[in-house]
Amino acid sequence: MKVVMANDHGAVELAARLKSHLENRGYEVKYLGTATEESVDYPDKAEECVNEYRKGGYDFGVLLCGTGIGISISSNKMNGIRCALPQTRYSAEMTKRHNNANFIAFGGRVEYSEDPVEILDAFIDAEFEGGRHERRIAKMMALEGK
């Protein structure tokens, strides 16, 4: 089990926490983020992480910036990426079950009402349901480049 992860300076602490949690769950984490609060640009980190993911062998990607918004938007601009920015365990579970998201994003400066570790676990533990959702994902992905 392999995960690729990147973050900017706005999520150093949360990235370290999620990375440690993933490793404790048995994942090999390819960490591309910054471990300092020296400014880096989240679009660059998103691109680096997605390009690594595209090399293959990864189960999913994790992206973090101050809010999670900029880095998730950036990654979603890249073909083949479905990056979700869930705020709860339920939304994390459903993005995997219905959207088969291949990336999940978090905000290091966000005050979550639920523990981000639990949100990540809900994403990991959920399984894509297929069926009618496959048709919807195909339609979603057909929007790329329009």
pLDDT above 90 coverage of the chain, percent: 99
The catalytic position among 9, 21, 83, 98 is 98
For the question of residue 98 being annotated catalytic, the response is yes
Q: In what order do the strands lie in the sheet with 103-107?
A: 28-31, 2-7, 60-65, 103-107, 83-84
Q: What are phi and psi of 33, to 5 degrees?
A: -80, 180
Task: Output the pLDDT for position 146.
Answer: 85
For the question of residue 65 being annotated catalytic, the response is yes
What residue ranges of the chain have pLDDT lower than 50?
A: none
Q: Provide the CATH number for the domain around residue 36.
A: 3.40.1400.10
DSSP string of 63-117, one letter each residue: EEESSSHHHHHHHHTSTT--EE--SSHHHHHHHHHHH--SEEEEETT---SS-HH
Task: Output the pLDDT for position 98.
Answer: 98
- Name the residue range of residue 58's domain: 2-142
CA–CA dist 146, 143 (Å, integer): 6
pTM (predicted TM-score): 0.97
CA–CA dist 117, 50 (Å, integer): 22
Number of domains observed in the structure of the chain: 1
The catalytic position among 9, 49, 65, 83 is 65
Segment (H or E) for 17: helix 12-24
